[in-house]
Amino acid sequence: MKRVAIIGAGVAGAAAAYALRETSSTLTIFEKSRGFSGRAATRRRDGIYYDHGANHFKTDHERVHRIVREELSVIGLTRIDPDVWTFDGGGTIEEGDPERNEEPKWSYRTGIHRLGKRLALASEADIHLETRITHMRQEEDGRWKLEDQNEEEHGAYNVVLMTPPAPQSAQLLGNADALSEDDVQQLADTLDGVPYRKQLTVVLGYDERLERPGSFYGLINTDGEHDALSWLSFEEDKAGHVPDGQSVVIAQMTPDWSAPRLDDPSEDDIAEAAQEVATLLGEDAAANPDWTDTQRWRYALPEDIADADALKDGKAKNLFFAGDALAGTGRVQAALETGLDVAERIEAHGEA
């Protein structure tokens, strides 16, 4: 019986657990936050649901399609029909590339976080929420013990799967007590070499429906020249998210705009973001939201791909890795696939 510990219940960790559910492994998931799905995240407020990390996902990968559309419950799975349009640094909005819009975009009525939650619960793993792994210690026989923020020790585990954003996994490994600290340090260095984009999300809520200058759901800045805005989307286009007659705009701010404000975004910063949205949409009412929210993403999206070959050396230390750094792109479906891939390697680990 292989005892597998999975650090992180984002889509990568949850997908790995899901793929291992019918193997002989016993599965334990440790997740530092209160909920599932990591950066595919949803908040709830007064009957409104809004996806403040990943705004939607696609099922263009065959395995993801099968799992999401055929294996997991499709109750509440909601297709976002309007297209994503583009804008440039000067604020000109265009319909953009039709190919970009061919593949359907999805969330759930009660938010995109359902994806990670459904995967994790279907895995029937032993799940520890609000449990942050703070230290790892390897036993003489190669198995790992994991310590949480309350200094409680868990394990020992034959396999540890690490799925936090790469720099966070690197930090854990860098401080681990391992049989061969040099080897583990090399793994930490490989992960630490993946840069992540910092991003501030500003959520703008309106008690009255906002007008839009086009039939788009989302707007993406394709030339990377806009000073403040990377992406805008409208949560009312997702069934079940926003009561009739209201609007919720998700504004993903550019890394340059976000960086100096990340630690402590002020009321003025939020007002500035709302003004940027109003200017882009040509809609004065957008400058005066009725409520606002923010989320700081210290590790929003990987800007490079991790050296997967170097990380495969972790196998000899019973360490495996998954997550969007392994995909080299900040995409829900790509992160999910890394979880499915690593599950195959974990299943084969230790056999003949």
Ligand X SMILES: Cc1cc2nc3c(=O)[nH]c(=O)nc-3n(C[C@H](O)[C@H](O)[C@H](O)COP(=O)(O)OP(=O)(O)OC[C@H]3O[C@@H](n4cnc5c(N)ncnc54)[C@H](O)[C@@H]3O)c2cc1C
Q: Of the candidates 27, 253, 319, 335, which one interacts with ligand X according to CB under 6 A? A: 335
| 201-227 core/surface letters (b: 16 or more CB in 10 A; e: else) | bbbbbbeeebebeeebbbbbbbeeebe
Q: What is the smallest separation between the CB atom of 132 and ligand X, expressed in angstroms?
A: 4
Return the residues of window 242-301 that contact ligand X according to CB under 6 A: 252, 297, 300-301
Q: What is the smallest separation between the CB atom of 300 and ligand X, expressed in angstroms?
A: 4
How would DSSP label each residue in 78-141? EEE-SEEEEE-TT--EE---GGGGTS-EEEETT-THHHHHHHHHHTT-EEETT--EEEEEE-TT
- Which x/- pattern, by CB under 6 A, does the window 127-166 give for ligand X? -----xx-----------------------------xxx-
Q: Which residues on neighbouring strands pair with residue 250, listed in sequence order?
A: 203, 233
Question: Does 32 participate in binding ligand X (rule CB under 6 A)?
Answer: yes
Q: Which residues on neighbouring strands pair with residue 229, listed in sequence order?
A: 253
DSSP 210: P
- Which x/- pattern, by CB under 6 A, does the window 172-191 give for ligand X? x-------------------
* Size of the chain in residues: 352
Q: What is the smallest separation between the CB atom of 163 and ligand X, expressed in angstroms?
A: 5
Helix (H) / strand (E) element for 34: namely none
Give the SS3 label for residue 274.
Answer: helix
User: How many whole angstroms from its chain centre is CA 226?
Assistant: 24
Question: Does 39 participate in binding ligand X (rule CB under 6 A)?
Answer: yes
Nearer to ligand X, 111 or 165 (CB): 165
> How many residues lie near ligand X (CB under 6 A)?
38
Question: Does 111 participate in binding ligand X (rule CB under 6 A)?
Answer: no
Interface contacts to ligand X, rule CB under 6 A: 7-13, 30-33, 38-40, 53-57, 132-133, 163-165, 168, 172, 199, 201, 252, 297, 300-301, 323-324, 330-332, 335
